[in-house]
Chains A and B, each alone.
Chain A
Amino acid sequence: MTAFRPRLSAASADLAMYVRRLAQAARRRFVRAPKRWCAVVLLTVFLGYALWISNGVVTEFEERRWDVPAGVYAAPVELYSGLDIAAAGLSEILDKLGYQRVAEIRRPGEYRAGPGEISLWTRSFQFWDTLEPALQRVIHFDAERIATIRDTSEQRVPLLRLEPMRLGSIFATHHEDRLLVEPDAIPTLLVDTLKAVEDRKFDRHHGLDFAAIVRAAWVNLRHGEIRQGGSTLTQQLVKSYFLDRRKTIGRKIREAIMAVALELRYDKQELLHAYINEIYLGQQGARAIHGFGLASEFYFAKHLSKLELHEIALLVALVKGPSYYDPRRHADRATERRNWVLTTLANLELVDPSAAKTAAEKDLGVAARTRVGSRYQPAYMDLVRRQLATDYPIDEPATRGLRVFTSLDPRVQTLAERELAAGLERLQPDGDEPSIEGAVIVTHPSTGEVIAMVGGRRADFDGFNRALNARRPVGSLIKPFVYLAALQSGDYTLASTINDEPIDVLLDNGDVWAPQNFSKESHGEVPLIRALAASYNQATVHLGLAVGVTSVAELLQNLGLDREPAPYPSLLLGAIDLSPFDVAQLYNSLANGGFRTPLRAVRSIVDTDGQPLVRYALELEPAANADAVQQLNQALVQVVERGTGRPAKNTLPENMIVAGKTGTSDEFRDSWFAGFGNDYLAVVWVGRDDNQPIGLTGSAGALTIWTPVISGIEHSTGRYPSLSSSLKPVWIDYQSGLATREGCGESVLVPIPSEVRLRRLPGCGSGLGELGARALDWLDNIGKRR
């Protein structure tokens, strides 16, 4: 406890009092000594200045102190019987939610895992729609899925909604990230270590430690440079508010004034609390790591309360220079300083010497930077901010303390990050500079929710978000929309033939464009379905010109493209730059059966009292003819069955039917794959930031990442939405487009509008005579064998 000190309502009141007294004294002395009066005037000016900046620092302190951020949450996991998740998977989720694994459950937030079973006591949570109470449940597993969920009286329960994982915060004042530590959650050891290392007289001084300043000044003078800082914790706090890092006398004076002002205004506990949450401790790309709460996660992937002695010592060691002592880049320096901290603690008898010795022998213990599954989701948070910025300005004072509920699925996010990193590693083993990069987006097409977004190879790095911001030529990814326009026109079916022949297109500027097929071969008359599945360029251009480039451009806009594409013929082969997000929006409309629903990340926003403020309802708009889309999607299934996406079949689970399209841009600069199963859509892009060729087609590059992602999340197998009643399934020959029967020619079952009659492939009729002839042949052979 500090001794009695006058408590003032404002630091400025204190200083104002001094000013007044001095003014009185000045008046008295004015008559007597003009020279002294000059000095007094200067002093007054100085004090006026001091008053002004004191006000500034107090305002800053207050704003930050009351800046309760908007909390951002992932989608809550909904458990039900039949859900594909193993006990280990659920354990992982519970661990991430901060549940304690115990031998015996005694309170909410604990769980027990047995063979094939998990018992838990959930925590109460204020969802946007209801306050979900704490519930005791037992979940039984059957191999990799949930068998039953029961309550305490053994009754089966159909559904269990867990509380959502917290992803991060959005602060109104500074837009930086913090993991705020509450006063009662600050470990005593941390406080002791801080004071021991940075400011031994913290509890006693009034903002400045004059002995420390004098000592530092002496040391610095002797060495001719700034070597020692005499800054108290309070001074450091002030320094961290303002970016200016110049070490001038003027700044030091300013800092000193502000430190005194804060000390007059606030007590030691408040200052310490602010310090713990503010101090700069590291950097990750564009993201500054402030505060011990966040630093603990950043360096050790652990909650602050779980840190051990050697870890706390390292964090405090970093205060002096987070870059200079960066444990990941300068491990030796970091270890040396950490051990000096430990020695200091032992010398001051704050820890046992043997404990200090043991700690000093330990490794730094810093988690590898590219650890996946971390809670920080910069790419996804980007999307959240973007959505909020347009619809709900988060800077408003009224937005403080809000809770933002998103549709991020942490399991899918983790899978996507892992597969992208692993895939890029396979495609370009480390060591080759510059590295190839990639992006992944996963959506739930029916609802238009974005459930995962990966902005680059290093997912937790807050750098360029390629998923949202990398606009690249899409190449063949555009083709499905050309074919959809054709199917929608009513003039074409999947069996209609088009010309895969050389074509010269006269452009507006007088040039002649003569597109080539990838294989440099032309194939003559080909059915639509084959032209799309095999991605023939020439056939696509013929078709696109017949349908009209403007129709295609219009269709793209209807399906969600947010700008007007230039209607040049080259659009037909994908000479348009889109981000993976743009592509996902377009393909989502296909996966959703021709209904456009704007892709979104935020589901709802709730205020500090739990009252719902905003809810983004599911909204659809019919954007393309549903029958045409059904036909097109079947062609996209053939892309994987028989076309350019065929390599996926080697690793996809048997019976999993997926639809998609490869995309390769000019000179192999971009490798794309966009595709969907029954319940999920995923878009993958691979390329180089500097736009240099990577030498990979869509199937050699992006597809190798897309396949494990979709296999990991799609669980329903073998089923495909039932056909519309105006379509009928018809067997056609994949090569010619003529009608056939199963097993004759290269037969494939496709939806065709009911009223359409197709010509038959010769020799593949289903006539009785035909069959009878074959039967007689067989009989004949039997006769011969006998």
Chain B
Amino acid sequence: MKHLSLCLLLVGISACSYLPVTETPNRNESTSGSNEGSSVPGDVAGSSGGAATASAELLHQSRASQATGHYQRAASDIERALRIEPRNPYLWLELGKIRLAAGNKQQAAALAQKAMSMTGNDASARTAAQRLLDDANTY
């Protein structure tokens, strides 16, 4: 009886480990974006909470400049944020948006591609990046 239950246990365990590996080759898990819409940059790989808050502040400032058409200033704030969180796809997206608004389609497309390469498992970010890429390529 003991042998049998042990066998069953082992078979059970071996069945579990038969499941394919789906993790990305990270040593630690990266938490994907909080996905509360594209207005807030998600918690991204490699950044501390403080860094995210700092870049959120700069993003906020940038949006204010965009609203009044001050694109250079808006872009400069995003670039400052990118120095703090270089792997945040939402920042790359924002920069692409600004370039598009300023009429630079080529850069908008390149930045959309760059954002795309940083999205990983974040489906919402990927969709936004695709949308920007389409916009840059259509008009």
Residue ranges of A at the interface with B (Cβ–Cβ < 8 Å): 78, 80-83, 128-130, 146, 158-159, 444-447, 449, 593-595, 604, 612, 615, 617-622, 626, 630, 634, 655, 657, 678-679, 716, 718-725, 729, 731, 742, 749-751, 766, 768, 771-772, 775, 778-779
B73 within 8 A of A: yes
Task: Using known A-B contacts A158-B53, A729-B24, determine if residue A446 contacts B7 with beta carbons closer than 8 Å.
Answer: no
A contact residues around B26 at 8 Å (CB):
718-720, 722
In the assembled complex, the CB of B76 is this many whole angstroms from the nearest CB of chain A, namely 5
The residue in A128, A444, A775 that gathers the most chain B C-beta atoms within 10 A of its C-beta is A775
In the assembled complex, the CB of B54 is this many whole angstroms from the nearest CB of chain A, namely 4
A532 to B13 Cα, complex, angstroms: 38
Which residue of A has the minimal Cβ distance to B87?
A: A721
Cβ-defined contact, B30 with A722, below 8 A: yes
Cβ-defined contact, A80 with B95, below 8 A: no
A contact residues around B25 at 8 Å (CB):
634, 720, 723, 729, 749-751
A contact residues around B110 at 8 Å (CB):
595, 619-622
In the assembled complex, the CB of A212 is this many whole angstroms from the nearest CB of chain B, namely 59
Cβ-defined contact, B75 with A722, below 8 A: no
Cβ-defined contact, A766 with B121, below 8 A: no
A146 to B48 Cα, complex, angstroms: 11
In the assembled complex, the CB of A381 is this many whole angstroms from the nearest CB of chain B, namely 22
* 19 pairs, A vs B, C-beta closer than 8 Å: A81-B49, A82-B49, A82-B51, A159-B58, A444-B83, A446-B83, A617-B72, A621-B110, A622-B114, A634-B25, A655-B27, A719-B28, A720-B25, A720-B45, A722-B45, A729-B21, A771-B18, A775-B7, A779-B10
A766 to B16 Cα, complex, angstroms: 11
Cβ-defined contact, A779 with B114, below 8 A: no
A612 to B84 Cα, complex, angstroms: 23
Cβ-defined contact, A721 with B45, below 8 A: yes
In the assembled complex, the CB of A147 is this many whole angstroms from the nearest CB of chain B, namely 9
A655 to B116 Cα, complex, angstroms: 26
A721 to B50 Cα, complex, angstroms: 20
In the assembled complex, the CB of A614 is this many whole angstroms from the nearest CB of chain B, namely 11
**A-facing residues in B33-91 (Cβ within 8 Å):** 45-51, 53-54, 56-58, 72-73, 75-77, 79-80, 82-84, 86-87
Cβ-defined contact, A626 with B113, below 8 A: yes
In the assembled complex, the CB of A400 is this many whole angstroms from the nearest CB of chain B, namely 24
Cβ-defined contact, A78 with B80, below 8 A: yes
Residue ranges of B at the interface with A (Cβ–Cβ < 8 Å): 3, 6-7, 10-11, 13-15, 17-18, 21, 23-28, 30, 45-51, 53-54, 56-58, 72-73, 75-77, 79-80, 82-84, 86-87, 95, 107, 110-111, 113-114, 116-121, 126
A595 to B80 Cα, complex, angstroms: 19
Contact of A447 among B54, B83, B120 (CB under 8 A): B83
Contact of A81 among B17, B46, B53 (CB under 8 A): B53
Task: Using known A-B contacts A718-B26, A719-B46, A720-B25, determine if residue A81 contacts B54 with beta carbons closer than 8 Å.
Answer: yes
B contact residues around A447 at 8 Å (CB):
79, 82-83, 86
Contact of B82 among A81, A129, A446, A594 (CB under 8 A): A446
B contact residues around A724 at 8 Å (CB):
117
Which residue of A has the minimal Cβ distance to B79?
A: A618
Other than the known A720-B24, A771-B18, what 10 A-B pairs have Cβ atoms closer than 8 Å?
Answer: A78-B83, A83-B51, A129-B77, A446-B83, A447-B82, A626-B113, A630-B117, A721-B118, A729-B21, A778-B10
Cβ-defined contact, B14 with A772, below 8 A: yes
B contact residues around A81 at 8 Å (CB):
48-50, 53-54
Which residue of B has the minimal Cβ distance to A782?
A: B6
Cβ-defined contact, A779 with B113, below 8 A: no
Give the dominant DSSP class at A's interface: loop
B contact residues around A626 at 8 Å (CB):
113, 116-117
Cβ-defined contact, B14 with A615, below 8 A: no
Cβ-defined contact, B84 with A779, below 8 A: no
Give the dominant DSSP class at B's interface: helix
Cβ-defined contact, B18 with A766, below 8 A: yes
Cβ-defined contact, A620 with B107, below 8 A: yes
In the assembled complex, the CB of B86 is this many whole angstroms from the nearest CB of chain A, namely 4
A722 to B31 Cα, complex, angstroms: 10
In the assembled complex, the CB of A393 is this many whole angstroms from the nearest CB of chain B, namely 22
Cβ-defined contact, B51 with A80, below 8 A: yes
Cβ-defined contact, B53 with A80, below 8 A: yes
Contact of B121 among A634, A720, A722 (CB under 8 A): A722
B contact residues around A621 at 8 Å (CB):
110
Cβ-defined contact, A158 with B56, below 8 A: yes
The residue in B23, B77, B86, B113 that gathers the most chain A C-beta atoms within 10 A of its C-beta is B86
A contact residues around B47 at 8 Å (CB):
82, 716
Which residue of A has the minimal Cβ distance to B110?
A: A620
Cβ-defined contact, B28 with A128, below 8 A: no
Which residue of B has the minimal Cβ distance to A773?
A: B14
Task: Using known A-B contacts A719-B46, A771-B18, determine if residue A779 contacts B51 with beta carbons closer than 8 Å.
Answer: no
In the assembled complex, the CB of B15 is this many whole angstroms from the nearest CB of chain A, namely 7
Task: Using known A-B contacts A444-B83, A593-B117, A771-B14, determine if residue A80 contacts B50 with beta carbons closer than 8 Å.
Answer: yes
A contact residues around B56 at 8 Å (CB):
158
Contact of A620 among B45, B46, B48, B111 (CB under 8 A): B111
B contact residues around A778 at 8 Å (CB):
10
In the assembled complex, the CB of A129 is this many whole angstroms from the nearest CB of chain B, namely 5
The residue in A595, A721, A749 that gathers the most chain B C-beta atoms within 10 A of its C-beta is A721
In the assembled complex, the CB of B67 is this many whole angstroms from the nearest CB of chain A, namely 16
B contact residues around A749 at 8 Å (CB):
25
A contact residues around B79 at 8 Å (CB):
447, 617-618
A contact residues around B120 at 8 Å (CB):
721-723
Cβ-defined contact, B54 with A595, below 8 A: no
A581 to B86 Cα, complex, angstroms: 22
Cβ-defined contact, A83 with B27, below 8 A: no
